[in-house]
């Protein structure tokens, strides 16, 4: 391809207009936090000690007694039994969960905003080359720095980094992301792995 004299403008374009994606059940077929936990149960036997607490967390979430941040923080206590390099090892065998339609359209300016822990998604972000915003969770303790990155918090985090950017497209599997969808010129709701117009 012959270089254009205007190639120097491409970074400016990408800084102003971009595509934004949710991750779990959108770019990745399943819930990465759940898959990682199951993988840890098989790989690091001491995490089996967390099973009673995990059952309690899901019961509390079902009854909506606590907010998501508090529930997930209790759930992530199993991380105390997981070594620091585990996320990179996990993604060595789980990249096949990335949906093909994303790989066909991904751009170098893509932004992924997820409620999953930042430390868990960082290896796949580096592999696929997207900008990552996710829940800030201490990998050693499971303690949050801030709140769960979902709903309106995604908009706040996005505007914190890109205060004036226009969003060309937004993709998610959940209406909890209505606030982000409202920012986009085009929004798509992912159902059974396929993007459909947002309703």
Distances from the Cα of 76 to the Cα of 7, 144, 165, 178, angstroms? 45, 9, 33, 27
Residues constituting the chain: 199
Residue 132: beta bridge partners?
112
Q: Is residue 189, in this structure, part of any structural domain at all?
A: yes
The predicted model scores a pTM of 0.88
Q: Is residue 179, in this structure, part of any structural domain at all?
A: yes
Instruction: List the CATH number of the domain containing 134.
Output: 3.40.50.1000
Q: Is residue 2, in this structure, part of any structural domain at all?
A: no
10 has a pLDDT exceeding 80: no
Residue 28 DSSP code: B
Q: Report the C-alpha gap between 130 and 88 in whole angstroms.
A: 16
Are the C-beta atoms of 99 and 193 separated by less than 8 Å?
yes
Q: Is residue 1, in this structure, part of any structural domain at all?
A: no
Distances from the Cα of 75 to the Cα of 50, 67, 83, 102, angstroms? 8, 13, 17, 30
* Average predicted confidence (pLDDT) for the chain: 91
Show the domain range for 119. Answer: 7-197
Predicted confidence at residue 58, as pLDDT, reads 79
Report the chain's C-alpha Rg in angstroms. Answer: 18
Q: Is residue 68, in this structure, part of any structural domain at all?
A: yes
pLDDT per residue over 36-63, tens digit each? Answer: 999 999 999 999 999 998 888 878 888 8
Q: Where are the beta strands (DSSP E) in 8-56?
A: 17-21
Banded pLDDT at 13 (limits 50, 70, 90) = very low
- Total structural domains in the chain? 1
């Amino acid at each position: 391809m012959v270089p254009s004299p205007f190639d120097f403008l491409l970074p400016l374009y990408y800084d102003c207009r971009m595509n934004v994606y949710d991750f779990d059940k959108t770019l990745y077929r399943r819930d990465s936090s759940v898959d990682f936990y199951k993988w840890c149960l098989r790989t690091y036997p001491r995490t089996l000690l967390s099973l009673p607490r995990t059952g309690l967390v899901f019961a509390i979430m079902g009854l909506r007694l606590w907010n998501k941040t508090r529930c997930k923080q209790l759930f992530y206590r199993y991380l105390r039994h997981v070594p620091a390099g585990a996320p990179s090892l996990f993604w060595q065998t789980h990249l096949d969960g990335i949906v093909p339609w994303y790989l066909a359209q991904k751009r170098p300016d893509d932004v992924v905003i997820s409620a999953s822990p930042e430390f868990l998604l960082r290896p796949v972000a580096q592999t696929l080359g997207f900008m990552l915003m996710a829940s800030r969770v201490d990998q050693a303790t499971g303690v949050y720095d801030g709140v769960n990155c979902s709903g309106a918090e995604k908009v706040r985090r996005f505007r914190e980094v890109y205060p004036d950017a226009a969003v060309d497209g937004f993709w998610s599997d959940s209406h909890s992301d209505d606030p982000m969808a409202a920012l986009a010129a085009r929004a798509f709701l992912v159902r059974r792995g396929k993007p459909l117009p947002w309703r």
